[in-house]
Structure 1
Amino acid sequence: MKRKMRRLTKKPFVRDVAVMASGTAAAQAVIMALSPLITRLYGPEAYGLMGVFTAIVSIVGPVAALTYPIAIVLPKRETDAWALLRLSLAVTVGMAVASAVVLLLFQTSIVQLFQLQDVASFLFLIPVVMLFAGLLQTAEQWLIRTKQFAITAKMTVVQAVIIQGSKVGVGFFYPFASVLIVLSALSKGVKALLLMLFAKPAEKQHHREPRSSIKSVAKRHWDFPAYRAPEVFINASSQSLPTLLLSGFFGPASAGFYAIGKSVLSLPVQLIGKSVGDVFYPRVSEAANNGENVTGLIRKATLSLAAVGVGPFGTVIIFGPWLFSFVFGADWVTAGEYARWMALWTFFGFINRPSVMALPVLSAQAFHLRFTIIMLITRIAALAAGYYIFASDLTAIACFGVSGAILNSGLIGITLQKSRHYDHEQSDGGNDE
């Protein structure tokens, strides 16, 4: 048994996941240690307003660079990767400027259309968040490509200390929603700056290679803005819907319950799921380039995540209300009821990380876009049924959670089917040669 453990820990994939997970674990420990104090300082309504703002930027932030940063990991040639990095930064600046222009021209109409009166004064932060988000995505993907996982892990901890510590420090003197919103807007910028400051310079192994143009890599990776960016935007919209709708239907406090529930349930997702995904992406890309069995990699990673996730998500399903009341205070017991149902779809979202990461490698981004559109429609229908038929926020969350679990499990099954087809084609191609 000890020999197996030694062999396992020596594997680069396991070692890299452990490095990423350790940094995320330390960051989440900081967040959880300070969260009981933060929730008592600010209260459900302030959390709800922050949740509404976070929901808005969670929709637009992921497409700040039109998902071009995700492509940085894929090219074999370093010059292509550098060109994608420059392209990502250029697109980020353009998108941030475009969002600022849109807000200047149509802010009043946007506020009225989406009922955003409670956070209208903070919408000017959206272009700033988009700029920070694009910079962070580009920096993260470059560090993933160059396998600087330790730097990412360390800076994740430093960011958590800075942002969460600021929430507590300022909250003692000024415990208002504006503090939470501004610090949330700055968080991605803080991490992006830290990554850029402490990243090791890339080795210049590509000096003999011809310089790749931004135009050529943009054309070669056209499927990212065409398919991946809309998919990411729609997926983010579907996940942010409960916050926006709960705030509109039942008030900011209800959105606050959802926000804290989602924050707690994201702990294992950030701790292990994202770490596995970040390391798995270059690994599955390498496997595809080398003709290895992709299906086996996806299946093994998915089952491993399922085994890890049963404990924490099962605990929330069984003891949610009591846990939230004990940790965050009696005012948050409803958040525990929400979390019970949210844990269903979060669990399947947790274990589908390998499938989602494999889809660009399988050239299945068009499928992912279609699937996400179906998910958005289904989730809107689920929330509408909970509100209009049952007039209950808890029932709306229950419908949302169950539908999310079914859809995410379906995504895993279809991805495995596509990977088997991909492996079969690769095998036939190899035999033909």
Structure 2
Amino acid sequence: MPAASASAGLLRASLTLLAGGAAAQLVPLLLGPWLTRLYTPEAFGLYHLLAAVAANLAVVACARYEFALPLVADDAQAAALRSLCLRLIGMVAAATALAGAAWAWWVGAAWPLWLGPAVAVLALLSLATLNATRAQRFRPLAWARVLQHGGAALLQGLAGLLAAGVHGLIAGPVLAAGMALAALGWPGPARATAAERRAVAQAHRDFPLLNTPHAFLGALQDTLAVALVAASQGAAGAGAWGLALRYLKAPATLVGSAVSQALYPQLAKVGCTRAGRALVVRTMALLALIAAPLVLLLWLAAPAAFAWAFGAQWRSAGELGRALSLYIGMHFVASPLSVVTLAWNAQAWALKLALIGQAAFVIALAAGLALDGLRGAGWAVSLAMALYFGWYFLSLARWPVEGA
């Protein structure tokens, strides 16, 4: 495929997904100041802890086999992959329901019981999303994003009016993910024999062997971050960390998901070629131009903006936002590029590099917390991750490709 044609297709798909993502993010961004007045920082801290654990488990519930769907052209193989994923989700959901019950008994509260349902619906949504990506059904993908993110904030607000506490914060996103799943529809026929499931599992074994630990450890970084902040600064500190990251990463979530869902099929077609590398470099350059004013805005206005929007008790989240501004900008550029190593069959390299980055993040966070609380953690993370992402971007730009 010519580079110009691939770029045009990527642009059209990205704009479709970006429109849906913009609508999806607008509702939670507008309702956030209302939600922070309905729920306490402590309630937000517990919610972010459970949400991080659920995401950590859901992201690997299919052993990442769902990410092989855009790479297979044969419908029979796709059906076998879906069948394999559904069986894995069933087992993981049952195990996490038991783990949630044990967690609830340990803390003496009922909110961890949401763990099993949250993992199940998020895993099914991931399968449905990658199945729709394979078919390049970008309009339903855009609507699903609206329902998942916008619906979550609306349902949290309604639950807050009913004084539902932390249960309301958790139930809203779980129900909204179910609505998004319904919008995408059932992934399709998943009838396959045991032999067919074994065959596709063997053919795509790099996904559980290499991409699963990569994805799990990436999500574990967020889980450990919330746990470290909660242990050092209490539930309210975890609430400030969660709120800051939720808002600061919103642009990366909005743009990154849209670009990656559109970029992945294009890279899968052109492969690891000069055209593919050029497409990645152009994508990085465009994202960097968008990220630069975001970093400057956070540096100048984050503390005052958080206090004005969410209330004086949330000013510490704004101070954290200023300290994290460089990291947020780099993350904005890196977020959509996670699919590049999938398309280029470089998962082993990506796993090794990610392990270094995750270790650097956690060590910097712990050291910063010990030195100067939340603000110190933000500055330490920004410095460490700027070095890490800089090396990552340089490596992709100089990646050896066919014909070079």
Aligned AA for 2:83? R
- Write the distance in 2 (CA, Å) between the matches of 1:253 and 1:31: 20
Determine which of 96, 100, 125 is the counterpart of 2:97.
Answer: 100
Contact 1:344 1:401 in 2 (8 A): yes
Contact 1:88 1:134 in 2 (8 A): no
Corresponding position: 1:378 with 2:356: no
Q: Kindly state the Cα deviation for residue 397 of structure 1 after the two structures are TM-superposed.
A: 2.6
- Write the distance in 2 (CA, Å) between the matches of 1:356 and 1:237: 16
Corresponding position: 1:242 with 2:242: no
- Write the distance in 2 (CA, Å) between the matches of 1:267 and 1:393: 20
Q: Deviations over 1:216-240 (max 9, x none)?
A: 1110110111110101111111133
- Write the distance in 2 (CA, Å) between the matches of 1:355 and 1:151: 22
Q: TM-score, normalised by structure 1?
A: 0.85
Determine which of 74, 77, 82 is the counterpart of 1:77.
Answer: 74
Aligned AA for 2:289? A
Determine which of 132, 139, 151 is the counterpart of 1:150.
Answer: 139
Determine which of 177, 192, 211 is the counterpart of 1:228.
Answer: 211
Corresponding position: 1:396 with 2:377: yes
- Write the distance in 2 (CA, Å) between the matches of 1:211 and 1:225: 18
- Write the distance in 2 (CA, Å) between the matches of 1:159 and 1:231: 25
Q: Tell me, what secondary structure is at the counterpart of 1:63?
A: coil
- Unaligned runs of at least 5 residues, structure 1: 1-6, 112-116, 203-209, 429-433
**1:264-279 to 2 correspondences below 5 Å:** 264-279=247-262
- Write the distance in 1 (CA, Å) between the matches of 2:15 and 2:289: 16
Contact 2:151 2:172 in 1 (8 A): no
- The size of the alignment, in residue pairs, is 398
Corresponding position: 1:13 with 2:10: yes
Q: Kindly state the Cα deviation for residue 192 of structure 1 after the two structures are TM-superposed.
A: 1.5
Determine which of 291, 315, 319 is the counterpart of 1:309.
Answer: 291
- Write the distance in 2 (CA, Å) between the matches of 1:381 and 1:10: 39
Coordinate RMSD, CA, aligned: 2.6
Distance change in 2, residues 1:103/1:51 (3 Å): closer
Q: Deviations over 1:279-318 (max 9, x none)?
A: 00111111118x5622101101111111112222321122
Determine which of 407, 410, 416 is the counterpart of 2:397.
Answer: 416
- Write the distance in 2 (CA, Å) between the matches of 1:62 and 1:285: 21
Contact 2:144 2:181 in 1 (8 A): no
**1:310-349 to 2 correspondences below 5 Å:** 310-349=292-331
Determine which of 250, 253, 258 is the counterpart of 2:236.
Answer: 253
State the partner residue of 1:206. Answer: none
State the partner residue of 1:53. Answer: 50
**1:103-114 to 2 correspondences below 5 Å:** 107=103
- Write the distance in 1 (CA, Å) between the matches of 2:99 and 2:151: 31
- Write the distance in 1 (CA, Å) between the matches of 2:91 and 2:152: 27
- Unaligned runs of at least 5 residues, structure 2: none
Query: Following TM superposition, where does structure 1 have runs of at least 4 consecutive aligned residues deviating by more than 6 angstroms?
Result: 7-10
Q: Kindly state the Cα deviation for residue 11 of structure 1 after the two structures are TM-superposed.
A: 2.4
Q: Kindly state the Cα deviation for residue 9 of structure 1 after the two structures are TM-superposed.
A: 12
Deviates more, 1:364-373 or 1:352-361: 352-361
Q: Deviations over 1:13-43 (max 9, x none)?
A: 2111000000010111111121111111113
State the partner residue of 1:114. Answer: none
Q: Tell me, what secondary structure is at the counterpart of 1:248?
A: helix
Q: Kindly state the Cα deviation for residue 63 of structure 1 after the two structures are TM-superposed.
A: 0.8
Contact 1:313 1:343 in 2 (8 A): yes
Q: Kindly state the Cα deviation for residue 8 of structure 1 after the two structures are TM-superposed.
A: 9.8
Q: Kindly state the Cα deviation for residue 212 of structure 1 after the two structures are TM-superposed.
A: 8.6
Determine which of 120, 123, 145 is the counterpart of 1:134.
Answer: 123
Distance change in 2, residues 1:36/1:387 (3 Å): closer
Q: TM-score, normalised by structure 2?
A: 0.91
Q: Kindly state the Cα deviation for residue 346 of structure 1 after the two structures are TM-superposed.
A: 2.3
- Write the distance in 1 (CA, Å) between the matches of 2:65 and 2:169: 30
Q: Tell me, what secondary structure is at the counterpart of 1:363?
A: coil
Q: Deviations over 1:243-298 (max 9, x none)?
A: 11111111111111111111111221122111001100111111118x56221011
Q: Tell me, what secondary structure is at the counterpart of 1:170?
A: helix
State the partner residue of 2:167. Answer: 178
Identity over aligned residues, as a percent?
24
Distance change in 2, residues 1:107/1:260 (3 Å): closer
State the partner residue of 1:24. Answer: 21
